Amino acid sequence: MEKHRCMICAKPGAFQGGICDLCKAKVRGEALQEQQQVKKDADRSLHKEGTAGESKHRG
């Protein structure tokens, strides 16, 4: 496998997909945090409107 540079940090290495494992983990972590924030904002908005969120519904 040829050594390429990571598209994010530009460190040389042998990896697939153009992004090193460390940067992949960082990007995934940031995406998860953003997804959690969007969910919190949506739940807050539903609570303000007086509508119960699905996560509060037990079945």
**Per-residue pLDDT tens over the stretch 41-56:** 999 998 888 875 555 5
Are the C-beta atoms of residues 7 and 18 closer than 8 Å to each other? yes
Domain positions in the chain: 24-49
At 7-35, the pLDDT tens digits run 999 999 888 889 999 999 999 999 999 99
For 21-41, the DSSP string reads: HHHHHHHHHHHHHHHHHHHHH
Are the C-beta atoms of residues 3 and 13 closer than 8 Å to each other? yes
Are the C-beta atoms of residues 3 and 16 closer than 8 Å to each other? no
* Predicted TM-score (pTM) of this structure: 0.64
- pLDDT confidence of 59, banded at 50, 70, 90? very low
Q: Which of 9, 12, 3 is nearest to 24 (CA)?
A: 9
